[in-house]
Structure 1
């Protein structure tokens, strides 16, 4: 918990966490479609109105974890050192997150994380809803890339196409890692291959996205 938060903010954060954890525990036990929102509210000891104040839709109870990463790539581009290209910054950041086994990279074999990814993958409603978060990630990265290479030909279009390609690469790498983890590989055993694949993917991106390399 962030000690810099005030009492009210800490209480809200605890309530939000309690609601989400109660929801995910019930979803993992019985399935997303078979758990009503009223039961989640009861498990978290809040009213249904309070639940929806924190999570406007049922899928937000699960997918808010992805929302925390929506603008991550955009922040990496904006906050990079002046002498570092956007692609180099994103590549560096990916290697760091792989090394620390960040769940967003797919290279995490903690049982709770594996179960969470399986829940999202195997629930059509969640897989579909996840596209909203993906779209916002692309929008944020597009804005950051536009600011990084305004001199590129057709800068707005170039930034959007680049953001789409980068996002797809990051998602495909994470999905590949998740599939192998779910199939039974350990994160430590998979890490060398995951890092090599990340390097290869960014070499390909540099070859096609010259304004950002």
Structure 2
């Protein structure tokens, strides 16, 4: 039986369909999860996709963290369930306390939408084992509030524990401290990133299929578990 990966839909979510397609492309079963339900439907992992949950009112992800489904995600994540937050999903995971730091307005105060090179810093997490450390990936970005910020002590901790997953290679598109594009929790099970791996699963519609490795990696982790 194939692994089941849940994909959450909030009001304003844009990338749930793409995330579900990436899950299926990797060979798993995609399970739709609704923001208002206290039910993860027996999934083995969860993707919190990008978009503008609840219209990004107050602050990106600040309302979504109170959604009933996120109560279940937080509890499951603390028990070791793999969770990936992409773009708005990354913001939600930070607001929910599953990841440290905060995502603020891009340093140039403009929305950015382009293909972006990333460097793989950590290939030991549940979501990155299919990559070589130091590899460079071409993944789309599209966000207005992707500037990752945290206290220097938190940044030092992330660096010291090898919890930076990806850095922007070349130009930093949003001003993120230390060029951070993605991070993980201490166990390497919960990951957040601003770039969109679900938009890079097929070289035909690409720009590359570099993002597919994240979904294949978590399947490897689930099989190993």
Q: TM-score, normalised by structure 2?
A: 0.28
Q: TM-score, normalised by structure 1?
A: 0.29
* Greater RCO (Cα-Cα under 8 Å, separation 6 or more): 1
Q: Which has the larger radius of gyration?
A: 1
